[in-house]
Amino acid sequence: MASFAEDESPIMKGDAAAKASDYANYFCSYAELYHQKQMLMDHNRMRAYHDSIMLNKSLFEGKTILDVGTGSGVLAIWAAQAGAAKVYAVEFTDMALHAKALVEKNNLTGVVEVIQTSAEDLDLGDVRVDIIISEWMGYFLLRESMVDSVLRARNRWLKPGGTLFPSHATMLWGAITYEEDRVDKQDEYTSSMRDWDIFVKEMADTYKVDMSVLDKHYEREQREYYIYSSLWTELGMQHVVGQPAVVRRLDLNTCTIAEAANVPKVDWSVQVDFNTRVSGFAGWFTVDFAGSEGTPVKQRVVLSTGPEGGRTHWGQQVFYLPEPIDCVPNTRLHGELVMDRQTKNKRLYTVTASINVDDEPEPRFAEAKYEMP
């Protein structure tokens, strides 16, 4: 069970500096209708949430629901339409004003209560809720670190035996072949370094300043930018090599905030199924609306953001290798994976992987470290 003694994150309470830069970096885009519309037009996302509520109406009828980060209020409205007695819809940004207008327009004023506050500052008094719904997932599941707020709300306001919608999450790590795209990024890097050489010569010739001491730094900066940064990509099944490895499963009903914050060092393994050139790896996730022991669903719904699931706005995060790996059937790629929050911005992540081929004594890549921008 979740520990109810988990510490409050220092980020959202008291620390005004962290809060301000968090707002500048993170919350502001969620205050735009344009951005809300993009999420609302993601039909795989919409269908999964809609079905999970509408195919399980009996869980909502007469119940008290909390929607964490309601945005324009659509999930809260669906919960009310499914028969909820009361829905608390919490939103930090001014999007809350639009949510209020939508609730009114859809004749749900008595049922949905929009509260403009952070999940951390929410005060429901003695009320406890039966279900918490939230769409908190970022790229490769964890980006944005919004799950903290959802689990903190769970620890405080969810009845024993209640459940989260979604209730479970799975992170996947797949080998991919996509040389056209990988080589494009390599070419951009090469071209950028060629530009730098021209620039350094110009600075010396024209302006009498020797910049060559920065060559190494520039190379590192550009490698981090073009090669060691993950990319948002829409992969097709033709890009996926073998079965993806599961690197993390979370039961959101019970996991701790710390458990949902990162991927501690985990072994992964992918068996290659045909002759191919592996260009790198991709990370994505699925979430399940499966309920909990105390609140089982009638109809389980799964939302997949993998290449097999059709398009979503999450796409996949792609991590290209500086050199491809040529594989034959039954080559086994394996290694370790770690995913940690960046120190400079806790809503962003760093993914570090080691990559081995079969039983080769040395890893092909001992510690490939990627920033997820």
- Site for its own copies, rule CB under 8 A: 16-21, 23-25, 32-34, 37, 40-41, 46, 50, 72, 74, 77-78, 81, 98, 101-102, 104-106, 192, 196, 199, 202-203, 206-214, 217-218, 221-222, 225
Comparison of 28 and 183: residue with beta carbon closer to its own copies: 28
DSSP for 211-272, please give it. Answer: -GGGHHHHHHHHHHHHTSB-EEE---GGGEEEEEEEEEEEETTT--TTTTT-EEEEEEEEE-
Smallest gap from Cβ 257 to its own copies, in A, equals 23
Of the two residues 35 and 334, which places its CB atom closer to its own copies in the complex?
35
CA distance 296 to 289: 10
Give the span between the Cα atoms of 139 and 233, in whole angstroms.
11
CB of 2 to its own copies, least distance (A): 31
- CA dist 171 and 166 (Å) reads 14
**Nearest to its own copies of 277, 311 (CB atom):** 311
**97 three-class SS:** helix
Active site residues: 135, 144
Copy the structure tokens of residue 28.
């502001």
- With respect to its own copies, which residue has the nearer C-beta, 77 or 255? 77
Q: How far is the CB of 28 from its own copies (least distance, A)?
A: 9
Cis check for the bond before 361: say yes or no (omega within 30 of 0): no
Report the alpha-carbon distance of residue 231 to residue 229 in Å, rounded.
Answer: 7
Q: At what angle do helices 74-81 and 95-105 cross, to 10 degrees?
A: 30
Shortest reach from residue 187's CB to its own copies, in Å: 17
Cβ distance 309 to 315 under 8 Å? no
Residue (187 or 202) nearer to its own copies, CB: 202
| Euclidean distance between CA atoms 162 and 154, whole angstroms | 9
Structure tokens at 277: 């050139």
Strand-pair category, 86-91 with 64-68: parallel
Q: Given the complex with its own copies, which of 243 and 299 has the nearer CB atom?
A: 299
Alpha-carbon distance of 295 to 172, in angstroms, equals 27
Residue 24 C-beta: closest distance to its own copies, Å? 4
CB of 209 to its own copies, least distance (A): 6
